[in-house]
Amino acid sequence: MELKRHIVHIDLDSFFVSVERKFNPDLIGKPVLIGGSAERGVVASCSYEARKFGIHSAMPMKQAMRLCPHAMVIRGSHGRYSEASREVTEIIHDSVPLYQKTSIDEFYIDMTGMDRYYDCYKLAGDLRQRVIRETGLPISFGMASGKTVAKMATNAAKPNGQLYIPHGKEREFMAPLSIRKIPMLGEKTCQKLYQFGIEKIGDLQKTDLRFLETAFGKHGRYIWEKANGIDESEIVPHSDRKSISTENTFHTDVADKKTLETVLVSMTEELSAKLRKENKVAGCLAIKIRYANFETHTQQEKISLTAAEHILIPGIKNLLNKVWNQHRPIRLIGVRLSQLTTGSYQINLFEDNEERIRLYQAMDKINFKFGDKTVCRAAGMAIGTRNFNPFLKD
């Protein structure tokens, strides 16, 4: 007999806004925007009251303020969010045997097999109430046979609710919903489906698989399976990796500060790209220096959670300034980013403007496709995994 899967998706509602409301109850019930400056910043998070005006995350703050001029704008507090996320993670860690943290405010839990002894939906409900009771944060969850439907159930349960989609009822639940409700279905795919007259998931369920494979290639089967609630993807256990580092040993000892800075820039760039690829942000940076006589020193400092090199590189250079001694040649230099936590680059929207976010997204996309450091800062051009300029002929 095949084991029935019980997958729970948990999402903290308007997480950044909810955390801020704990510290300032005057924000409750009002349209709240969290993010960068009103001129060039973007929205990192917004309250449900603000969403009614058509505002969404990653929207330019200027546009959001035009849609809702009376919204309250808050700069955001990195420390508060990472601490609140840690509290919720600890509660989940204490309560269930297998979970996956996919972002600073989102989790998947696998309760498969527990239904032999417990009511899984009641267990999930009790866990939700414990999080609400102990953290004061609103939380929603969906429960289903796979990740996709569980996440869609959570979205249907929001705000501050819960929903169970029984086995065999997945297609029925999904059928009346817009195809846009399918997680990870991109805008271009949706537009193409619209051209075929496919607007609801029910329309997609009736579409022949061979037609979708002809129109979308290999992606066609993925679309068909998602629309039919088929998702066998596993829950990957929460990772405990706390740091990421790299170092460089010079062939001959280096006493030139500019050379050292160039190496540090390149290493920091590569590490921050890895963080973004793994959906992580760092809360501490450090450099390691080994002098010609093998004496080794480290210097570190805490920072706001980030995976952006325009924030990390100045911090690394500053640490070098603290340990720099022109009379002592250096044999080895290294960079370490630690206090890692799961969280998408979106957490950095507090400092960033729209252009910078698009730049990082474009750089990561090109480097992922063509190899690390295809696009990088000029300072780190000659160092790292790609030691040539890809735009020059060989």
Grouping H, G, I as helix, E, B as strand and the rest as coil, residue 272 is helix
Instruction: Return the closest-CA partner of residue 290 out of 246, 336, 262, 249.
Output: 249
**CA gap 319, 136 in Å, rounded:** 39
Task: Say if CB 7 and CB 120 are below 8 A apart.
Answer: no
Q: Which residue has the tokens 């924030």?
A: 311
Q: Reply yes or no on whether 106 is catalytic.
A: yes
**CA gap 262, 193 in Å, rounded:** 48
How many Cα atoms are found within 13 Å in the side-chain-facing hemisphere of 209?
Answer: 8
The torsion angles phi and psi of 11, rounded to 5 degrees, stand at -140, 130
Catalytic residue among 2, 83, 87, 106: 106
Partners of 302 in the β-ladder: 284
Instruction: Return the closest-CA partner of residue 43 out of 346, 309, 282, 304.
Output: 346
Instruction: Return the closest-CA partner of residue 347 out of 35, 59, 72.
Output: 35
* Residues classed as catalytic: 106
